[in-house]
């Protein structure tokens, strides 16, 4: 088996690793794509980060009070760090993504504030996902009541898009309770190009390294056409029809995505 992709996320804060740029270079030298997620508390490190295939910033809330409640940040100046991180993201040329996790009764009513954060960081994409409940924990007060239904996530996205005119709903994955909002620059001749041409990215990052960083490139330089089944409104609801799903009860084939 050959490794093709590397996701730097979940446990810890990968951008704090002092050799993160060297590690990214090693990944790319081995033709491995890089997906890095940061919690938007280290703006300087974001500015100093070398190109990655896709850079995510977790936008878990849109106000100071709700961010403190949801993320329980370590720094006293967490809100300024958060805002500065989004500003740093706006300067990046490669693919950037806001990752919004909706927590019912906590952060789903802050639409205008979310729209203002979008204008601050100008991400290429906004990934909106309902929170996943992982069971009881002394570190969290979340319950199943905080998990929004997919229809509620769709409703939130519709309302958010109305406030950010440069963006539209592009894709959906119902099974993951997730939708993708994309900047209109990725809609070419009425067709979405939200996917990644990984081979082209590897060519571009090699040219970047060979030129010692002088030959830059943008997200549009390695975009790929979105397959029809991944588009918002498709009958597959984001589930690849080439894959087979099995139900625990009747094991019937299903491509509904949920």
Structure-token pair, residue 37: 């997620």
pLDDT for the residue numbered 74: 84
pLDDT tens digits for range 86-116: 999 999 999 999 999 887 755 566 789 999 9
Q: Which pLDDT belongs to residue 65?
A: 87
pLDDT band, residue 70 (cuts 50/70/90): confident
Quote the tokens at residue 6.
């590397």
Find out whether 232 and 171 touch, Cβ atoms under 8 Å.
Answer: yes
- Looking at 9-132, which runs of residues are DSSP E strands? 33-38, 54-58, 95-102, 125-130
- pLDDT band at residue 211 using 50, 70 and 90 as cut-offs: very high
Coil, strand, or helix at residue 221?
helix
| Rounded mean pLDDT, 4-33 | 93
Place of tokens 């295939």: 53
**Whole-angstrom distance, CA of residue 136 vs CA of residue 116:** 33
Q: How far apart are CA 160 and CA 150, in angstroms?
A: 15
CB atoms within 10 A of CB 214: 8
- pLDDT tens digits along 155-182: 999 999 999 999 999 999 998 889 999 9
Fold of 5-230: TIM Barrel (3.20.20)
Sign for the pseudo-dihedral over CA of 174, 245, 10, 220: negative
* pLDDT, tens only, 110-144: 789 999 999 999 999 999 998 665 666 655 666 66
């Amino acid at each position: 088996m050959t490794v093709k992709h590397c996701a730097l996320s979940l446990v810890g804060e990968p951008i704090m690793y002092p050799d993160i740029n060297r590690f990214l270079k090693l990944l790319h030298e081995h033709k491995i794509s890089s997906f890095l997620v940061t919690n938007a508390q280290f703006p300087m490190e974001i500015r100093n980060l070398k190109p990655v295939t896709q850079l995510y910033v977790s936008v878990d809330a849109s106000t100071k009070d709700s961010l403190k409640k949801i993320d329980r940040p370590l720094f006293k100046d967490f809100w300024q760090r958060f805002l500065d991180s989004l500003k740093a993201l706006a300067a990046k040329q490669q693919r950037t993504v806001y990752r919004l996790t909706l927590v019912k009764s906590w952060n789903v009513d802050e639409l205008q504030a979310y729209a203002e954060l979008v204008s601050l960081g100008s991400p290429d994409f906004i990934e909106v996902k309902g929170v996943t409940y992982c069971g009881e924990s002394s570190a969290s007060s979340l319950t199943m009541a905080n998990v929004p239904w997919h229809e509620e996530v769709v409703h939130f996205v519709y309302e958010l898009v109305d406030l950010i005119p440069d963006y539209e709903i592009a894709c959906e994955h119902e099974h993951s309770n997730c939708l993708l909002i994309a900047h209109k620059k990725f809609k070419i001749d009425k067709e979405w190009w939200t996917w990644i041409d990984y081979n082209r990215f590897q060519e571009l990052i090699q040219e970047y390294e060979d030129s010692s960083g002088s030959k830059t490139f943008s997200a549009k330089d390695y975009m790929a056409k979105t397959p029809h089944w991944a588009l918002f409104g498709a009958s597959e609801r984001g589930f690849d029809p080439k894959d087979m799903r099995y139900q625990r009860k009747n094991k019937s084939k299903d491509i509904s995505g949920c």
